[in-house]
Amino acid sequence: MGEVMIRRKKPIKILIIVLAIVICGIGVAYAALSSVLNITTSRITQSAMTWDIGFEAGTIPGVATVTNNGTINCGSVTATATAVTGVSPVFNTATGKCAYTLKLQNNGTIGGKIAQITITQPVSNCTLGDSSMTCGNMAYRLRYDSADSTSYVKLNDTIAGKSGSTPTVKTIVLTIENNALSTTGYNQYGFKYQLDFVQN
């Protein structure tokens, strides 16, 4: 019985040696077929994003539209990047309106949207909308594109960032309209629109 056991051990040893040689051969074959690939970069550049929303600066003449035989003197307004001043139309026994065409531009790469519109009333009994205000006979509105447009400036309106070196421009028209004649003269002082833009 001992002889049988010894004879069985020899083939096992030979088999283990053969398997070891085969495994080593496979390992060598795989090593011979392997490749090393490298990707390297010299520099990564990201241009800075910019924020630059404001009015196009300049002097803007008011355009009058008279609907009766009176006269309207719209005068001119002065626009800077952050403010429009000098709005003082005079309605001489006239119905009609004055229109001031402003250019809102985004010369930055970041788009913006209107997060808040704050209106300061010239008198205490005005009726307010998003960007409209009616105070007695007088109606104040911020419109897009033209003096007769029914597309009004409102919350969450957006303006895209510039394309290349060309700013994105939107036309905003401030209209002040006298809808009826009055037997007594009056003045309305201190009306104001404040548009707050945030990143879109």
Mind listing the pLDDT tens digit for each residue in 145-163?
A: 999 999 999 999 999 999 9
Is 14 among the domain residues? no
127, pLDDT greater than 90: yes
Is 36 among the domain residues? no
CB atoms within 10 A of CB 96: 19
pLDDT at 7: 47
Overall number of domains in the chain: 1
pLDDT at 32: 73
pLDDT at 56: 97
Residue 173 has, within 13 A of its CA and on its CB side, a CA count of 19
Burial of 112 (0-12, 13-18, 19+ CB in 10 A): buried
pLDDT at 4: 36
Is 18 among the domain residues? no
Measured between alpha carbons, how far is residue 40 from residues 34, 35, 37, 43, 173 in Å? Answer: 20, 16, 10, 9, 54
pLDDT band at 166 (very low <50, low <70, confident <90, very high): very high
pTM of the predicted protein model: 0.77
Is 2 among the domain residues? no
Is 186 among the domain residues? yes
pLDDT digits (tens, 9 = 90+) for 84-108: 999 999 999 889 999 999 999 999 9
pLDDT at 1: 40
Is 167 among the domain residues? yes
Is 20 among the domain residues? no
What is the residue range of 176's domain? 53-199
Is 172 among the domain residues? yes
Percent of all residues in the chain with a pLDDT value above 70, rounded to a whole number: 84
